[in-house]
Amino acid sequence: MASILDLSDTPIYTIKSVALQTGIRPVTLRAWERRHDILSPFRSDNRYRLYSERDIALLRWIKNRLDSGLAISNVANELHSMIKDGIWPDMIPAAPIVTPGKVANPPSEYSRQLFEALIRHDEARSGDLLREIHSLFDLPTTFMQIITPVLVEIGEAWFSGKIRITTEHFVSAYLRGKLLSLLQAYPSRRGAPYLMLGCAPTEQHEIGSLMLSVLLRSEGYRVEYLGADVPLEDLTDYASYEHPAMIVLAASMIEAAIELKKMSGFIKKVKPLPVFGFGGAAFRATTALKDHVEGVYLGDTLIEAVDSIHMLLPVNSRSARTV
Ligand code: B12
């Protein structure tokens, strides 16, 4: 049998493509990477994971070991010691490819179709598209490559007068509703790090922090989503009873980002002191604003925010319990 080392290590495959080729779900791939140090995929400029032919072959080998009854921790140890000794596993032939009934379009095509359906106020078509998208793509791809571009396009169409304000309100209300249902579909876990997420005072743009809440719940965190325009004094008073490990607030508008300067005065009254994280479009547009807010800037994108939160508050799924 040929060795896995003979295969190309050029990073070209997205996590979704790897999932389709190996049958291992994206969430599992990310968990193995974090917990068992299995593969360190290359990160593209926009921080997406990219895998090589060799990575895919290694994953097939791992899956084969798991199918034979071994635990993932044992397989990871076995692989690490083999590679340390310069021994690469043999290639496992790929399972026969099941040809799907329909060839999937790239995320950009779904984004375009969803935009078209939404500006026609066509709920039935939008719902069908979202169901299809959910079955084909993982949450980060859906949020970053499909829903966010739809919203950016809506903003541009509204700004240039191509769509009416009513249509923009319809689209954001529709997507907000779908995201809230998705959030509620994930279990809230006791025993997992507890986060409160919402928007800075005066901030009405809540879809970014809602998507971040869904991503964090899907990764096993206990997340309470507080919505738009959260008053800091009341929030920190509530937090002093509930003891979250972290409070995360987002700001898209500069005025809202400036409001976050006041957070340092309020949060110090909360015992034990939670971590305060912040982010959002205002800090991307005016980077100097970050220096005026006392707390942890979580990154420019939702994926960076999830990664930062993992570093600050590692989640141990085994200690987490569904409520
Ligand atoms: C929907 C929408 C609204 C809705 C919001 C409804 C709701 N429930 O959320 C409503 C109607 C309320 C609204 C109001 C306004 N809006 Co508006 N709105 C939008 C629109 C179309 C989509 C916003 C959105 O959800 N984007 C999707 C998110 C995911 O994108 P994002 O914020 O860029 O997210 C990225 C990062 O910021 C980061 N991120 C996001 N959230 C978080 C959170 C954390 C913690 C971290 C770390 C990272 C992070 O991750 C993403 C990338 O991965 C945008 C267009 C656009 N370009 O976004 C305009 C837009 C933001 N709005 C705009 C304006 C001008 C307004 C109003 C002033 C209009 C008015 N005259 O009343 C008000 C202001 C209200 C307020 N004070 O907050 C402008 C802002 C321009 C600017 N920066 O000054 C935009 C860009 C439209 C435009 N093209 O001009 N809006």
Domain containing residue 31: CATH number: 1.10.1660.10
Clarify whether residues 177 and 194 are in a common domain: no
**Residue with the nearest Cα to atom 60 of ligand 1?**
155
Residue 320's pLDDT is 38
Average per-residue pLDDT in the chain? 89
Q: What does the pLDDT average to over 228-256?
A: 98
At 135, the pLDDT band (50, 70, 90 cuts) reads: confident
Clarify whether residues 204 and 119 are in a common domain: no
Q: Tell me, in angstroms, the distance from the centre of ligand 1 to residue 203's CA.
A: 9
| Percent of the chain topping pLDDT 90 | 62
Q: Which residue type is seen at 41?
A: P
Task: Report the alpha-carbon distance of residue 135 to residue 147 in Å, rounded.
Answer: 15
Residue 97 counted as domain residue: no
Residue 172's pLDDT is 98
Give which of 292, 273, 290, 272 is closest to 281, Cα–Cα: 290
Residue 99 counted as domain residue: no
Residue 38 counted as domain residue: yes
Largest CA distance in the chain: 66
Task: Report the alpha-carbon distance of residue 314 to residue 40 in Å, rounded.
Answer: 18
- What Å distances lie between residue 252 and 39, 176, 247, 258, 297, CA to CA? 35, 16, 17, 11, 14
Check whether 96 has a pLDDT greater than 80. no
Find the DSSP H helices in the chain: 15-22, 26-36, 53-67, 72-84, 107-119, 123-136, 139-141, 148-159, 165-185, 207-218, 232-242, 254-259, 263-267, 281-285, 302-312
Higher pLDDT, 27 or 169: 169
Q: Tell me, in angstroms, the distance from the centre of ligand 1 to residue 205's CA.
A: 5
CATH code of the domain containing 161: 1.10.1240.10
Task: Report the alpha-carbon distance of residue 64 to residue 299 in Å, rounded.
Answer: 37
| Prediction pTM value | 0.77
Q: Which of 13-27, 40-54, 113-127, 306-320 has the highest mean pLDDT?
A: 113-127
**Ligand 1 pocket by Cβ (under 6 Å):** 144, 148, 151-152, 154-156, 159, 168-169, 172, 176, 202-209, 211-212, 248, 250, 252-253, 279-281, 284-285, 298-299, 301-302, 305
Task: Report the alpha-carbon distance of residue 212 to residue 182 in Å, rounded.
Answer: 12
Residue 89 counted as domain residue: no
Clarify whether residues 209 and 308 are in a common domain: yes
At 317, the pLDDT band (50, 70, 90 cuts) reads: very low
Residue 44 counted as domain residue: yes
Clarify whether residues 229 and 272 are in a common domain: yes
Place of tokens 């921790």: 73
pLDDT in tens, 150-163: 999 999 999 999 99
Q: What does the pLDDT average to over 87-104?
A: 59
Clarify whether residues 192 and 164 are in a common domain: no
List the strands of the sheet with 194-199, edge to edge.
222-225, 194-199, 246-250, 275-279, 296-297
Higher pLDDT, 230 or 67: 230
Task: Report the alpha-carbon distance of residue 19 to residue 72 in Å, rounded.
Answer: 17
Residue 94's pLDDT is 63
176 is in which domain, residue-wise? Answer: 107-184
**Long-range contact list for 163-172, CB < 8 A, 24+ apart?**
163/119, 167/119, 167/121, 170/118, 170/121, 171/118, 171/119, 172/207
The structural domain count of the chain equals: 3
Clarify whether residues 169 and 232 are in a common domain: no
Residue 316's pLDDT is 67
Task: Report the alpha-carbon distance of residue 150 to residue 115 in Å, rounded.
Answer: 5
Q: Which string of b and e fits 73-98 if b means at least 16 CB within 10 Å? A: eebbeebeeeeeeeebbebbeeeeee
Q: What does the pLDDT average to over 187-203?
A: 92
Residue 323's pLDDT is 36
CA-255 nearest atom, ligand 1:
77
Residue 114 counted as domain residue: yes
Among 34-43, 212-221, 277-286, the range scoring the smallest mean pLDDT is 34-43
Higher pLDDT, 187 or 282: 282
Check whether 300 has a pLDDT greater than 60. yes
**Residue with the nearest Cα to atom 74 of ligand 1?**
204
Higher pLDDT, 87 or 37: 37
Structure tokens at 216: 């964090």
Task: Report the alpha-carbon distance of residue 70 to residue 64 in Å, rounded.
Answer: 9
Q: What does the pLDDT average to over 224-252?
A: 98
Testing ligand 1's pocket by substitution, the residue of 205, 284, 290 carrying the most ligand atoms inside 8 A of its CB is 205
Residue 2's pLDDT is 63
Among 54-58, 100-104, 166-170, the range scoring the smallest mean pLDDT is 100-104
Q: What does the pLDDT average to over 188-207?
A: 94
